[in-house]
Amino acid sequence: GKVWGDNFFDPKTKKWTKKHTGEKTCQRAFVQFIYEPIRRVIDAAMNDNKEKLWPMLEKLGVKAKLKPADLDLMGKPLMKRIMQTWLPADVALLEMIIYHLPSPATAQKYR
């Protein structure tokens, strides 16, 4: 994919390039499409800026998954709940453990 490596997207020109054009709007794809959305959600949640946060979460389909009690949370507890709902790490961690760690019997051989 275009998200990794030296891939830049300029939303002003709507063009992809392998080199930075020097324009302020030109950013690495990872920063623009992965990092910045996560950072904006975290900033809005931590600063209790719910006027900005709720529309973002609605676009991402996260707000509908939150429980009514979660909507009353503020600051860090709200941010944690949003991240647990939007980008749950448990599934990814379990998958990494299953596929990449040796079984106890195999690991015992080199302990």
Contact 40, 33 (CB under 8 A): no
* 49-95: pLDDT as tens digits: 999 999 999 999 999 999 999 999 999 999 999 999 999 998 889 99
Could you report the per-residue pLDDT of 9-57, keeping only the tens digit for each? 888 888 898 988 888 888 899 999 999 999 999 999 999 999 999 999 9
> pTM for this structure?
0.75
Strand ranges for 1-111 from DSSP E:
8-10, 15-17, 27-28
Q: Does domain 8-108 have CATH number 1.20.1250.20?
A: no
